[in-house]
Structure 1
Amino acid sequence: MEDARLGVLGAGVMGTGIAVVAIGHGIPVVLVDVSEDRLADARRRVDTQLRHARLMGVVPAEGPVAALATATELEAVAGTTAVIEAVTEDAEIKAKVLGEVSRLVKTGTPLVSNTSGIPIGELERFVDRSDELVGIHFMNPAYLITMVEVIRGDRTSDETMTAVTGLLARMGRRGIVVRDAPGFVTSRLLHPMINEAARIVAAGVATAESVDDLMRGCLGHPTGPLRTADLIGLDNLADALRMLWERTGNASFQPCELLLEKVAAGHLGRKSGKGFYDYEKVLS
């Protein structure tokens, strides 16, 4: 990975955050998305996040920033040394994209799915070389959080794990390796807690602010579950909960009505300006 060149698929919240981490640590990136408008917006967000990351000391404050190229065609990643898929959390879409990319990159190129809970075993049958597929769950915001969950599939090779470990080290990230399962570790624990917090609010037991204050002050949660939900995106959270519910049959993963109502109303959290909290007042 000394001469790494990273392909990132998807210029959304996670893709741009991952790109910031890479270029901030001197790794050139090719960022791919479906439209030039999305890519132009992504470039602006990358510039802003890179400045923030440097101020926070999570990427080097000195030294050159690597190049960021953008493209609307998957073929642009053909010459990269690793590819991270960061498209929407939908198994069918991820499988399609990973399958297409696996036929473009050369043998020995790690294929990484950035997923919060879709089992790697579900995706591996769509790629040409399943031994080169691995999961990495970057936490949001990816450019600030320095620990990641690394998911080793049943067919992931030692060579792939070594390459991915080396890439993460170059990106200043510490990876904790876990075995493949729906939700892995973090989502399996965090998402039902958020879901139950929303149920508590819906039942009138406490406000969102009170739930978060108690979780921070009594149990040491850094932000509180509902502020965390707003950061994740309530639509993303609902999708992840449905995925876990379908794959485990555990009723605690069934998205609660309040969460679904907020998603239907377009109140998706920070990215929409309103979720469990109102961010429009802060931004205005």
Structure 2
Amino acid sequence: MTDTADPTEVLRYTAFSADPAGGNPAGVILDASGLDEAAMLGIAAELGYSETAFLTAPPADLGGESGRAFTVRYFSPKAEVPFCGHATVATAVALAERIGPGELVFATRAGTVPVSVTGSATDGPGLRATLTSVEPHVEEVADADLAEALAALDWPAADLDPGIPARIAYAGARHLVLGAATRARLADLAYDFARLEALMRRLDLTTVQLVHRAGPALFHVRDPFPVGGVVEDPATGAAAAAFGAYARELGLVPADAVLTLHQGEDMGRPGVLTVELRAGDSRVRVGGAGVRIA
């Protein structure tokens, strides 16, 4: 154990980076048993990160090693979300600093999410957490909804990459995947916040996953998140898991593949997400480093 602080303290961790100035920051409350929904939402809003994770005791039937299973709820500054990848990684790293690396099990609104933590909090490259998604799926997006998304983004249809066709992908939360034909198109993001938020609420989307392919297994991504009250998410584990399922289903990558997603560079918070696909296993694994923010 490296920290004996009050478990109700709001901890701050970044995920998908070993640098506190990179990746996506998340709040973590290790004991939220005394908090109701209004209190959780208030803490998340005051903190202002895209998500804050709140831990309580696990359900009796969750399984997992004693003391290493938890119920986790995720709140953005505006609402509860069913699942959040970066806050899962941040929470797993926070727990590993206190109870050691190894296997964890999280009960989330989206389902059961196993997380494996490797490394050391004091030696070498630090701690790294890898989550295994719930069962993913991919669905078509209506032409009118795609047109509305492009209008809100102010993206001409000609700027889309036809090799990355628009779809809605799910791996714990729903994301609209859009391909950018060039890196410059992806870098130029100035969208109509209210218009995109309205569309996302109607389609029950958590983020829009904007993707530029830079190589066979290398992608740059950005994630507008207006439904959470945040212009852009710096590193989005749930969207990375959804994109992994999407890329496999559409044949963009082999059934066995390890993808590297770079996110946050255009925001000045670079992060790296590793997405692992395994033949014969439909679930997606998303991993990255994590570190406490002083």
TM-score when scaled to structure 2?
0.29
Greater helix percent: which structure?
1
Larger radius of gyration: 1
Higher relative contact order (CA 8 A, sep 6+): 2
Structure with the higher fraction of residues in strand conformation: 2
Query: TM-score if structure 1 supplies the norm length?
Result: 0.30
